[in-house]
């Protein structure tokens, strides 16, 4: 019995420890999160957001340099979709602040940019949800739309 225990202990001690952290990828509706954030007052509605493939109703008078925002949120006691929405709202708040610093009224050409990999959609954003944290990364350009 002792020999079995020692063998088992040696196998466990010298085996490589493999960690498998959860990283579930979601593609979720962008506009519903924007609308919820405006209703809740987290976004003030003065800056409009356009995913690449969606064009503003007016013409773009000026585009500013590309900006990137990468935000994470605590996923504890939240569904994956809820945590993803929180992370996206944080990204949008940072883009709104950047746009206002430039005197812009829109953010255009938005694409998901998780780990520097672009995901382009005219309606969806990419979110990575883990057991503890969820994250959204996007890049886009502040713009003045007339």
Q: Please answer whether residues 123 and 49 qualify as being in contact, where contact means their C-beta atoms are separated by less than 8 angstroms.
A: no
Rounded CA gap, 52 and 35, in Å? 18
The pTM score is 0.85
pLDDT at 21: 82
pLDDT per residue as tens, the chain (146 positions): 555 444 444 444 444 433 458 999 999 999 999 999 999 999 999 999 999 999 999 999 999 999 999 999 999 999 999 999 999 999 999 999 999 999 999 999 999 999 999 999 999 999 999 989 999 999 999 999 99
pLDDT at 36: 98
Backbone angle region of 34, left / alpha / beta, with phi > 0 → left and psi within -120 to 50 → alpha: alpha
What domains sit in the chain, N to C, each tagged with a CATH number?
22-145 (3.30.110)
pLDDT in tens, 44-70: 999 999 999 999 999 999 999 999 999
């Amino acid at each position: 019995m002792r020999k079995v225990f020692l063998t088992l202990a040696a196998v466990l001690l010298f085996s490589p420890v493999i960690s498998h952290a959860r990283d579930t990828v979601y593609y979720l509706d962008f506009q519903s999160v924007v609308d919820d954030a405006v209703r809740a007052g987290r976004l003030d509605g003065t800056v409009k957001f356009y995913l690449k493939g969606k064009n503003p109703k007016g013409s773009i008078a000026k585009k500013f340099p590309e900006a990137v925002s990468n935000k994470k949120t605590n996923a504890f006691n939240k569904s994956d979709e809820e945590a993803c929405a929180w992370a996206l709202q944080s990204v949008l708040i940072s883009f709104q602040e950047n746009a206002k610093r430039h005197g812009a009224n829109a953010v255009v050409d938005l694409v998901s940019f998780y780990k520097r990999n672009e995901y382009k959609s005219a309606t969806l954003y990419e979110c990575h949800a883990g057991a503890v944290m969820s994250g959204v990364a996007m890049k886009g350009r502040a713009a003045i739309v007339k």
